[in-house]
Amino acid sequence: MTARQRVVIIGGGFAGLRAARGLRRAPADVVLVDRANHHLFRPLLYQVATGLLPAGDIAPPLRRILAEQRNTRVLLGEATAVNPHAQTVTVTAADGTAQRLGYDHLVLAAGATDNYFGHDQWAAVAAGMKTLRQAVELRDRLLHAFETAAASRDEQARRRWLTFAIVGGGPTGVELAGQLAALARRTLRGQFHDLDPAHLRIVLTEHGDAVLAPFPDPLRRHAHRRLRDLGVDVRLGYSAADIDEHGITLQSAHGGDPQRLATPTVIWAAGVTPVPLTAQLAEDAGASRDHKGRIKVRPDCTVPGHPEIFAIGDLANVHDLPGIAEPALQQGRYVAKVISHRLGRGPHPGLFRYLDLGTMATISPFDAVADVRGLHLHGPLGKAAWAGVHLAFLTGWPNRLGVLANWAWTLGSGRRQQQLILDTRTVRPAAARPA
C-alpha cells in the first residue's frame, strides 16, 4: 500500500475553497491553509463596512464548509514560504510557531493585497477594503466621522469630517461610494439633526477616463450619471499625489496645479497586488511575472517547469483574466479536476478555458449595472439580477436568509442593523493615533 498523496492549498478564497471542494472525493490528504478561519464573500464587503450586514453573514467558517469532507484538514496560519525544490510550505501561526508541510501537489491561491503603487506609508492613513477586519475598522471610522462632525462647533472641522475621499473608480470604489451616500442620506440624516446635509461631500477619484472601466461604455455612463444624482463628486483623470492624516492631494492627468482635499477619511480602492509569497515562489521556481506581479502560468494553470504547482486566482495570470470571483471559481474547479485525474480519478479536463458569465456592480438601492454576455442591464432590473446572483453565490442558506432579511429591512426602513462603533481606538487613521 502506497502512502496517500498530499495536496496543500494555500488560501480559502473563491479559488482555493473551490479547489478544496472539488477534491472532496479525491484519494488524497488535502490541507487548506488560510490566515483567516473563514471564507470571505468579498463582493459584499462594502455592505459590512457601511453597517448593513453583520460580518458573519459573508464569512462562513472554512471548517464548517468542509466539516463533512473527511479527506480535508483546515490549518489556520500564514503560508510564509514555499520551497519548490524540497516541496514544502512553511505555515506560521498567529502565536509565532511555524511548521513545515510537505506536498505532492500545491495550489497557490493566496490572493492579493492592497497596492499603494510604491507609497506604502499611505497604508497607515487610507483605509483598505480587503479583509473583514478592515471593513469593520472602516465602519468605525465612517460612523465616527459623523459623530465628530456633530460634536464639533467649528464649521470648517464639520465640513472636513463630512468629506469622504474614495480613491479608485472600479467596482469597489463605485459600490462603496453609492452605499456611503445611502448611509448618509437614508440612515443617518434623521439621526443627526445638528448636521447640515449640504456639508456632506463624497469624492470618488479615478485616474482613468471613466468609472467601472471593465464595463461597456453605455453602462459606465449610466453609472456615472447615477452617482452624480446621488451627490457623489466623481473626478476622472485624477490620481493621488499624496495622502496624510489631514487629507489627500490630487493630481490631474491633464496637468495643472495639484488639488488638496481636507479630510481625515480617505479610502483606498485603487488596486491590488499579489501577496508577497507570490514573488518569492516565482523567483525560487524560476517563473516570470506580469506587470501586475502575477505569476504567468501555463494554460493548465501550472507554474512553468513545476507541473506539481498550480497558481490560480488573483495572483496568477492565465489569459489575463480580471481579479474577480468567477475566474477564480472556474480555475479552482479546473485544478481540482486536473489533480483528481493525476490521482487516477476522472478524465483530464484539457486546457483551462474561461466561460465569461458577465460582470455586475451595484450603485444604489434600486440600481445596478450588469453586463451578462452582451446583455446590458441597469436600473431596478439590473439590481434584481445583481441581487439574485449574489444570493445564489453566497455559501449556505442561513447566510442567504440573513443577507436577504437585512436587505429587506434596510430597504424598507432605511435603518442598518450594525450601525455601531466597535472600537474607538481605530476611529482615526493609524498614523494619527497616539503612540
User: What are the residue numbers of the active site?
Assistant: 175
Indicate the length of the chain as a whole number.
435
- Rounded least distance, CB 79 to its own copies, Å: 13
- For every residue of 370-430, DSSP letters joined together read EEETTEEE-HHHHHHHHHHHHHHHSSSHHHHHHHHHHHHHHHHH---TT-----GGGSS-G
- Rounded least distance, CB 62 to its own copies, Å: 9
Distance CA 224, CA 174 (A): 9
Question: Nine-digit cell at 131?
Answer: 479583509
Which is nearer to its own copies, 11 or 168 (by Cβ)?
11
Distance CA 242, CA 165 (A): 13
Hey, which residues does 232 pair with through a beta bridge? 202
Which is nearer to its own copies, 77 or 274 (by Cβ)?
77
- Rounded least distance, CB 410 to its own copies, Å: 10
Which is nearer to its own copies, 69 or 252 (by Cβ)?
69
- Rounded least distance, CB 52 to its own copies, Å: 10
- Rounded least distance, CB 32 to its own copies, Å: 12
Q: How far is CA 388 from the centre of its chain?
A: 20
Cα dist from 158 to 161, 188, 204, 249, 428, whole Å: 5, 15, 20, 20, 15
What is the binding site for its own copies (CB under 8 A)? 35-38, 51, 54-57, 59, 61, 63-64, 67, 70, 73-77, 91, 93-97, 99, 132-133, 136, 143-144, 147-148, 150-153, 188, 190-194, 398-399, 402, 405, 409, 413, 415, 417-424, 427-428, 434
Which is nearer to its own copies, 143 or 223 (by Cβ)?
143
Strand order in the sheet with 78-83: 78-83, 88-92, 98-102
Contact present, 62 and 39 (Cβ < 8 Å): yes
Contact present, 38 and 81 (Cβ < 8 Å): no
Which is nearer to its own copies, 70 or 85 (by Cβ)?
70
